[in-house]
Structure 1
Amino acid sequence: MSDHKHGEMDTKVQEETFSGFMTWVTRTAIFCICLLIFAYMVNG
């Protein structure tokens, strides 16, 4: 087994995945809020 050295792992892929996930979550939340506002205005 190789020796683990703290702080030497390449986390670029994980950071890109997390960034993409957060972008998706943010856009989905904004869409849901806009949809709720639209539904409120139509059914007022």
Structure 2
Amino acid sequence: MADADHMPMHSSYMDYAEHERTYRGFTFAAKWGTAVIAGIIILLAIFLV
């Protein structure tokens, strides 16, 4: 059942520039998202405790 796709997937079909751009965007968002959440938690700990 896993091979019911019937469409060959070769690396030549992949747009590496777009893949790199997407990966960099994801890592950028993950890094800054984590920093913002950590900052919010620290501020909550300072001002609410």
Do both share a fold (TM > 0.5)?
yes
* 2:26 counterpart of 1:13: no
Q: Aligned-pair RMSD on alpha carbons? A: 1.8
May I ask how many residue pairs the two structures share in their alignment?
39
Q: Between the two proteins, what is the percent identity of the paired residues? A: 21
SS state of the match for residue 42, structure 1?
A: helix
Q: Match of 1:22? A: 27
Which amino acid in 2 is paired with 1:29? Answer: T
| Consecutive unaligned residues in structure 2, runs of 5 or more | 1-9
Moved over 6 A (4+): none
Which amino acid in 2 is paired with 1:31? Answer: V
Which amino acid in 1 is paired with 2:36? Answer: F
Q: Match of 2:39? A: 34
| Consecutive unaligned residues in structure 1, runs of 5 or more | none
Which amino acid in 2 is paired with 1:35? Answer: I
